[in-house]
Amino acid sequence: MTQYALEVNNLTKKIGKKLIVENVTFQIEKGEIFGLLGPNGAGKTTIIRMIVHLINRTEGKVVINGHDLDQSFKDAMGEIGAIVENPEFYKYMSGMKNLKHYMRMATREVSTERLDEVIRLVGLEQAIHQKVRTYSLGMRQRLGVAQALLHSPSILILDEPTNGLDPQGIREFRDYLRLLVNQGISVLVSSHLLSEMELMCDRFAIIEKGKLTHISRMNESNNMSHQTKQQVMFEVNNTEQAFNLLVNQNLGEERKVERGYLYASMDRETVARANQLFVSNDLQVYEISYIKTSLEDRFLEITNKEKKEESM
């Protein structure tokens, strides 16, 4: 059995002499949410459209749950459920009638039991017989997920799925995705909303000007090793004295006092030494905490580094 829900190798899209997407390669493991991050126009939607065969690839290979898109097109497409841009429905029909319409067009046979299961999964039991024109944007997004899941795909592909949703709708949508992943479905999601992707994804890739410039686990740089330096906050009863002690003992880097707290960049061993230093000098230490690097900070750090390397 294949390890990956999706494998993308050297995906390239060229229009005339212009490279829109260049040699993008990544894999999505089974049961994970994988994010494509990047500014508008970076090439995220083009990558997704090539994966779901809405546009042709210039070069590259796509394998979906072990099925090569070129060699086993029908089997490969049967593994995909997708929402590219906003889901569209017949607004004069009920949610149920829309889903039954899609059932008849599905690449795999869909049972009535599966229809009921999907409706429960996205939480539309109370509204499924109402006309779609009465649905909120969040409800239409959930109906779109239900439609994409009808044929039991192994991977769900979503392009900017939270556009237009209010904070409550975004949180509900995020919870639904995690529920799906817990049932073994993999998710590929693209967005430029870094704060939402940080809460949603297990791994992410950064796309810039059609190139994949970085890929890692969401919590990778937040786990502090013994050797890694990270910004630390100290809450003590005398920050000025604590600051001077660090300077005199040459402990930590980027030391500063801000809003009554002492900050410094140091590894774990140095944190322990700083704490011992404070206590031995009769300072009261109320709190020591590591400052978590946000996805926005990491995104800016990675993209700025790439720009510097390009300009050298």
Domains defined for the chain, CATH in brackets: 4-221 (3.40.50.300), 222-290 (3.30.70.980)
Between strands 285-290 and 230-236, the pairing is antiparallel
| H/E stretch holding 297 | helix 295-311
165 vs 279, higher pLDDT: 279
* pLDDT tens sequence across 72-116: 998 999 899 888 777 789 999 999 999 999 888 877 788 889 999
* Reduced 3-state DSSP string for 138-187: HHHHHHHHHHHHCCCCCEEEEECCCCCCCHHHHHHHHHHHHHHHHCCCEE
The dihedral through the CA atoms of 261, 274, 254, 242 has a sign that is positive
Q: Whole-model pTM?
A: 0.73
DSSP secondary structure string for all residues of 234-293: EEES-HHHHHHHHHHTT--EEEEEETTEEEEEE-HHHHHHHHHHHHHTT--EEEEEE-PP
* pLDDT tens sequence across 177-235: 888 888 888 999 988 777 778 888 899 898 888 999 888 888 764 444 445 678 899 99
| Cα–Cα distances in angstroms (integers) from residue 224 to residues 199, 229, 230, 232, 244, in the given order | 19, 8, 7, 11, 26
In terms of Cα–Cα distance, which of 232, 264, 236, 268 is closest to 249?
264
Does pLDDT of 64 surpass 60? yes
298 vs 77, higher pLDDT: 77
Does pLDDT of 49 surpass 60? yes
Task: Quote the CA–CA distance of 13 and 258 in Å, as a whole number.
Answer: 49
The dihedral through the CA atoms of 236, 238, 239, 245 has a sign that is negative
In terms of Cα–Cα distance, which of 108, 103, 99, 164 is closest to 136?
164
Does pLDDT of 68 surpass 90? yes
Q: What does the pLDDT read at residue 225?
A: 43
Which residues have CB under 8 Å from 285's CB, separation 6+? 234, 235, 236, 275, 278, 279
Task: Quote the CA–CA distance of 16 and 212 in Å, as a whole number.
Answer: 21
In terms of Cα–Cα distance, which of 288, 284, 280, 298 is closest to 195?
298
Which strand ranges, in their side-by-side order, compose the sheet holding 253-258?
253-258, 261-266, 230-236, 285-290
Q: Exposed, middle or buried by CB within 10 Å (0-12, 13-18, 19+), for 304?
A: exposed
Q: What is the dihedral of CA 207, 122, 182, 298, to 10 degrees?
A: 30
